[in-house]
């Protein structure tokens, strides 16, 4: 596949990518997990990384935020090369990360969890706006973070990075293991965030869900991006996608 096909469609001069990942490789200790990931994301876009278990989707997000032990290649965010930065500096450029395991702190209350990530850029949501988005969190603000239900924990994990002013959100399987009604609520939230201009990278197993929110889909296989499917033509490519995902 030609390199150019993996790029965002450039509609005029305006769409310089917010995030450009070039030939990214990463290792867990001795094991080589990413073998040259290349893709980019335009400002305000929602893209998904689809792929089988172990394809390297989560590792790609971890590499973008900088919490992999060893990584090479190039990751530029907002014009800045981040490959040699520690994760705290990458976060301070305006990248918000929601890990797959959600990372809610047991020794902190819901409110403390929500206000923990420091504000890195102006323009983030206020605590009240986050409570409006996720009313459950307001009711339970005094509870211990890990006493929340799985869905509420996911809302908390997303909510707390909306406060920081991050422009790029990395969401790792936000719908995993959640009831359909909660998945819908998360879907509506992502729609709304997209409407407010957030740029989102979504790792998903569930492409039916991904289809409802994303502009484009990147297919990851064995540590490489092997295909890019715009959301408009997802239905025509459904057989191809089934082959990729092995379902």
Binding site for other proteins (CB under 8 A): 29, 65-69, 86-92, 97, 99, 103, 105-108, 112, 115-118, 120, 161, 164
DSSP H helices, the chain, are: 57-65, 87-92, 110-115, 127-133, 135-139, 150-162, 180-195, 207-213, 238-245
- Pairwise CA distance, residues 241 & 237, whole Å: 6
Judged by CB, which is closer to other proteins: 160, or 217? 160
Least distance CB 168 / other proteins (angstroms): 13
Least distance CB 191 / other proteins (angstroms): 25
Judged by CB, which is closer to other proteins: 52, or 92? 92
Least distance CB 27 / other proteins (angstroms): 10
User: What is the crossing angle of helices 180-195 and 150-162, to 10°?
Assistant: 10
- Pairwise CA distance, residues 119 & 132, whole Å: 19
Least distance CB 22 / other proteins (angstroms): 22
Going by C-beta distance under 8 Å and a sequence separation of 6 or more, which residues neighbour residue 59? 26, 28, 33, 34, 68, 223
Judged by CB, which is closer to other proteins: 58, or 215? 58
- Pairwise CA distance, residues 36 & 223, whole Å: 7
Least distance CB 212 / other proteins (angstroms): 28
Judged by CB, which is closer to other proteins: 16, or 80? 80
Judged by CB, which is closer to other proteins: 8, or 161? 161
Of 34, 50, 35, 38, the C-alpha closest to 5 is 38
């Amino acid at each position: 596949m030609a390199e150019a096909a993996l790029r965002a469609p450039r509609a005029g001069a305006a769409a310089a990518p917010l995030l450009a990942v070039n030939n990214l490789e990463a290792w867990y200790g001795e094991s080589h997990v990413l073998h040259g990931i290349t893709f980019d994301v335009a400002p305000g876009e929602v893209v998904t990384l689809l792929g089988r278990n172990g394809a390297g989707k989560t590792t790609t997000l971890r590499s973008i935020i900088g919490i992999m032990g060893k990584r090479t290649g190039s990751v530029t965010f907002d014009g800045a090369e981040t490959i040699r930065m520690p994760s705290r500096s990458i976060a301070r450029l305006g990248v918000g990360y929601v890990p797959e395991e959600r990372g809610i702190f047991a020794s902190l209350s819901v409110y403390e969890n929500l206000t923990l990530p420091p504000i890195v850029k102006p323009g983030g949501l206020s605590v009240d706006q986050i409570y409006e988005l996720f009313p459950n969190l307001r009711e339970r603000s005094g509870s211990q973070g890990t006493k929340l239900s799985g869905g509420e924990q996911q809302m908390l994990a997303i909510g707390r990075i909306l406060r920081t002013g991050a422009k790029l959100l990395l969401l790792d399987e936000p719908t995993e293991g959640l009831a359909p009604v909660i998945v819908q609520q998360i879907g509506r939230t992502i729609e709304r965030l997209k409407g407010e201009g957030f740029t989102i990278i979504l790792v998903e197993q569930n492409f039916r869900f991904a289809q409802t929110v994303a502009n484009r889909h990147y297919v990851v296989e064995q540590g490489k991006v092997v295909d890019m499917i715009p959301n408009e033509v997802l239905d025509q490519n459904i057989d191809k996608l089934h082959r990729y995902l092995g379902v």
